[in-house]
Amino acid sequence: MSAPRTEADGQASWSVPVQVVRSPGGIDAWLIEDHSVPVLALAFAFAGGAALDPPGQEGRAALLASLLTEGAGPYDTAAYASLLRERGVTLAFEADRDGLKGTLRCLVEEGAFAAEMLALALAEPRFDQAAMERARAQRLLALRREAEQPPAVASRRWWAEAFPSHPFARPVGGTEPGVSAIDRAALLSAREAQMRRGSLVVAAAGAVGADALGRFLDRAFAASLADGNAEPIPAVPEPRRFALAVVELDAPQATGVFGHIALPPEDPAWEAAQIANWILGGGGFSSRLMTEVREKRGLTYGIGTGLLPFRGRGLVLGSVATDNARFGETLAVLREEWGKIASVGPTEEEVEAGKAFLTGSFPLGFTSTAQIASTLVGLRQLERAPDWLAGRIARLAAISVEEVREASRRLFDPAALSVVVAGRPTL
C-alpha cells in the first residue's frame, strides 16, 4: 500500500489486500498491513450487546462497556488509566444494539504492553464499588440529558414502536430504573453472557505483519476469555409499521425520525440498494431530500437517511429537524419524495452519480489505522468474505440502472414509512 507510485498509476494500482491471520493459539483476525505510520489498531466485537440486557436491567451492556476500562487486575481506575495514557495506548469499549465493541490503538513498539493491558481488562475487570457508582451516576446523568434532546427522544420512541416484542425496543443506553437496578452480580453475568471466545470477531490494521499480530492476539485473547459462545439474540423481526407518533417536548424545533424495513445485507441487491439510498437521502448535498427540503425550501439544516445492516435484517432510517410551525411542510415533502422514488425510481444520471461517488470515494475510507480496523470488524460482524472489499469497486461498477430502479422499488415503501416526531409540531 505504501510503495512509491507515479501520478499516472496512483488509483489503478491501489488495493486493500485483506490477510486472514490465525494466531498459534487459534484466534482469527483480518488484517490490512500498512507501514506508513508506526501504529497498530485493533477492533473487535462480541455478539450480544444491549440485546442481552434482561428486562429490568436496561443499560447493563452500556455499564459493562464503561467499567471494563475502570480498573483491572492490580490496578484501580486511576492507575489503569494512567498506565495506558502515559504509553499512548487508547482502549475503549462500547455497547451496540447487537454487540459489545472494543477498539485499541497504540504504537507498534508498545504492542506487547497494550495486549497485556487488554487481556487484563477482559479477564480481570475489577468492577470496584466506587467505580460502579461513578459509572452509574454518569449514565443516569447522560440519560437525563438525553431526555432534554428531541433527536434522542424521537429515536428511542422509534425503536420502541418498531420492535414491540424484541430487545431492540429497549434503548442501548438503558433506562433510569434499569441502570439503578444493576449490581456487581449483574455485570458479572453480562460479561459471562457475551465475552466469550466463540462470539469474538477481531480485525487489525497498521504496521504489523501476520506473525507479530498472531503473538499480539494470543497475548490479548488466548487466556483471557471463557470458551463457548454468547447467548443467542432472538432473530430481528420485521419492524412494525406504525402511524405518526408525536412525543410532546418543549422545544422550538421538532425532530422527526422515520424509516421502515430494508433489504437485508445478505440480499444480492444490497449494493444496488446502497446506491438507491444515496440518491434519496444518503448522498448529503447530492441527495433528493437535501435538495427538496433544505436547498429549495429552507425547511431544515439537515435531512438524511441511512441503511442499517443487522444479520438477516436491514432497516432504512432517517432524521430531520424543522421549527415546529413548519414541520408539517417538511413531512409532506418527505412523504412525496419517498413515494416518487418508490414509484418512478431514479434517473440514469442519478445512478451514474451515485456509482461514481461510491466507487471514487472508496479509498477515502482507508486513511486512518483505527478507521480501517473498524471497517474490517464491521464486515466480519456481517459475515462478509475476506475478498468483499477487494471486489467492491468492480461490483458497484457493474450495477445497472435497472438494478438500482428495482432496488428502489423494493427498498422504499411510502405506505410503510413510520414516523416519530419529538417537539410541538404543527402537522
Partner 1 sequence: MTEIERRRLLAGLPAAAALAASPALAPATSARPVYGAETFRLANGLQGVVIPMRRAPVVAHMVWYRVGGADEPPGLSGMAHFLEHLMFKGTPKIGPGQFSRRIAREGGRDNAFTGHDYTAYFQQVAADRLELVMGMEADRMANILLDPKDIEPERQVILEERLQIVENNPRSRFRERLAASFYLNHPYGRPIIGWEHEIRAIPREALLEFHRRHYGPGNAILVVQGDVTTERVARLAEATYGAVPASARVDRRRPQDPPHDSERRLVLRDHRVREPSLARLYPAPHAHASVEMSDALEVLSHLLGSGPASLMWKALVDPGLAASAAASYGGDSVDPSEFALYANPRPGVAPQTLEAALDELLARLLADGVTEAEVARSLREIVAKSVFARDSLMGGARTIGAALAVDLPLEYVEFWPSRIASVTAQQVTEAARAVLRRDASLTGWLVPAEARA
Size of the site for partner 1 (CB under 8 A): 74
**CA distance to 163, 171, 198, 233, 235, per residue, from 167 (Å):** 8, 9, 22, 8, 10
87 counts as binding partner 1 under rule CB under 8 A = yes
x/- binding map, residues 369-408, to partner 1, per CB under 8 A? xxx-------------------------------------
Stretch of 55-63, 77-85, 211-219, 412-420 lying at the interface with partner 1 (CB under 8 A): 77-85
Nearest distance in Å: CB 107, partner 1: 6
Binders in 269-328 for partner 1, by CB under 8 A: 283-286, 291, 294-302, 321-323
Phi-psi region of 284 (alpha: psi -120 to 50; beta: other; left: phi over 0): left
Contact between residue 31 and residue 147 where contact means Cβ atoms under 8 Å apart:
no
**CA distance to 71, 128, 134, 225, 302, per residue, from 74 (Å):** 8, 12, 19, 18, 48
Considering only 227, 250, 268, 415, the residue that binds partner 1 (CB under 8 A) is: 250
Grid coordinates representing 324?
415546529
Say how many residues make up the chain.
427
148 or 183: CB nearest partner 1? 148
78 counts as binding partner 1 under rule CB under 8 A = yes
39 counts as binding partner 1 under rule CB under 8 A = yes
347: helix, coil or strand? coil
Nearest distance in Å: CB 267, partner 1: 25
Nearest distance in Å: CB 225, partner 1: 26
Grid coordinates representing 144?
437525563
**Of 303, 51, 101, 73, the residue nearest 202 (C-alpha):** 101
User: What is the C-alpha to C-alpha distance for residues 255 and 299, in angstroms, rounded to an integer?
Assistant: 12
Q: How many CA atoms lie within 13 Å of 362's alpha carbon, on the beta-carbon side?
A: 21
229 or 291: CB nearest partner 1? 291
424: helix, coil or strand? coil
Nearest distance in Å: CB 271, partner 1: 16
Binders in 92-151 for partner 1, by CB under 8 A: 105, 107, 130, 133-134, 137-138, 140-141, 144-145, 147-150
107 or 247: CB nearest partner 1? 107
